Structure 1
Amino acid sequence: MKLPAEAVAATALIEVIRISALPAERGVAYPGRVGAHWVGAEVADALALIESLPGSAQHRCGFSPGWSIRAYEDSLELALFEAAFCFRCHEVRMHGRAVPPAPATQFFDADTASGQALLALFRTAAP
């Protein structure tokens, strides 16, 4: 999976969100409870895992994401990007000031070892 390279390099903190509903419009933060904050090596490991996700064909479920991550730089002001993951339709939607339009929607293989590892990481962080 492709993440915005400059944003990955600048990320100092990740919030893990257990999504409770879809936002009213695209480009708005997904509502939910923050379950964890990752810093340092946790950030690097999580982003490397996400970038290692293999692509997949689009599946149909209506996009009902369960988890998202919000990446912040040192200032912790506006999120660099948010990525919401749906493990049923294998879709991830990203938005934020560091996200160009081209990779805003991608598809990943949630059934691979890396996909299942990411899901387990989310479940541990934001049950």
Structure 2
Amino acid sequence: MQIPAEAVASTVLIEVVRISALPIRQGAPYPGRAVAHWSGNEAADALTLIGTLPSGEQHRCGFSPGWSIRAYEGSLQLALFEAAFCFNCHEIRMHGTAVTLALATQFFDADTPPAQALLALFRAATH
């Protein structure tokens, strides 16, 4: 997966969200409950893992993401980006101040070890 490099360098906090619905409008935050906040090495390691997600083919499910991350810089005002992950259709949708149109929709192979490790991190965040 491609993440805006300047956003990775500026991220100080990641909020992990268990998505409960799709946003009411494009570019709005995904509704859901924040289940974890990662900072320091934990945030850096998560971004590194996400950056290693291999590209994949689109599957058809209608995009029903279960998880998102919101990356914040030091002021914690607006998210640099939010990335929503659908492990069914293997799609990632991203929006935010650091996201270009070319990066807004990406596909990953959800059956690979990096994707399964990310899913395990998300699941562990709810406990």
Whether TM exceeds 0.5 here: the answer is yes
Q: In structure 1, the residue corresponding to 2:7 is in which secondary structure?
A: helix
Residues 5-49 of structure 1, C-alpha deviations (whole Å, 9 max, x = no match): 000000000000000000111110000000000000001100000
Q: CA deviation at 1:62?
A: 0.1
Distance 2:123 2:74 in 1: 26
Question: When the two structures are aligned, how many residues end up with a matched partner?
Answer: 127
Query: Is 1:16 equivalent to 2:16 in the alignment?
Result: yes
* Counterpart contact for 1:15–1:69, Cα < 8 Å: yes
Query: 1:79-105 CA distances to partner (integer Å, 9 max, x unpaired)?
Result: 000000000000000000010110100
Matched-pair identity in %: 72
The gaps in structure 2 that reach 5 residues or longer are none
Tell me the residue number matched to 2:89.
89
Q: Distance in 1 between matches of 2:86 and 2:36?
A: 19
Task: Give the distance between the partners of 2:101 and 2:36, measured in 1 at CA.
Answer: 28
Residue of structure 2 equivalent to 1:51:
51
Q: Name the structure 2 match of 1:29.
A: 29
Amino acid at match of 1:116: Q
> Separation in 2 of the partners of 1:113 and 1:71?
23
Which consecutive unaligned segments of at least 5 residues does structure 1 have?
A: none
Partner secondary structure for residue 16 of structure 2: strand
Q: RMSD of aligned C-alpha atoms?
A: 0.7
Distance (Å, rounded) in 1 between the aligned partners of 2:98 and 2:58: 24
Match of 2:109 in 1: 109
Partner of 1:100: 100
How far has the Cα of 1:126 moved from its partner? 2.9
Q: Is the 8 A contact 1:23 1:31 kept in 2?
A: yes
Once the two structures are superposed, residues 46-94 of structure 1 have per-residue CA deviations (whole angstroms, 9 ceiling, x without a partner) of 0000000000011100000000000000100000000000000000000
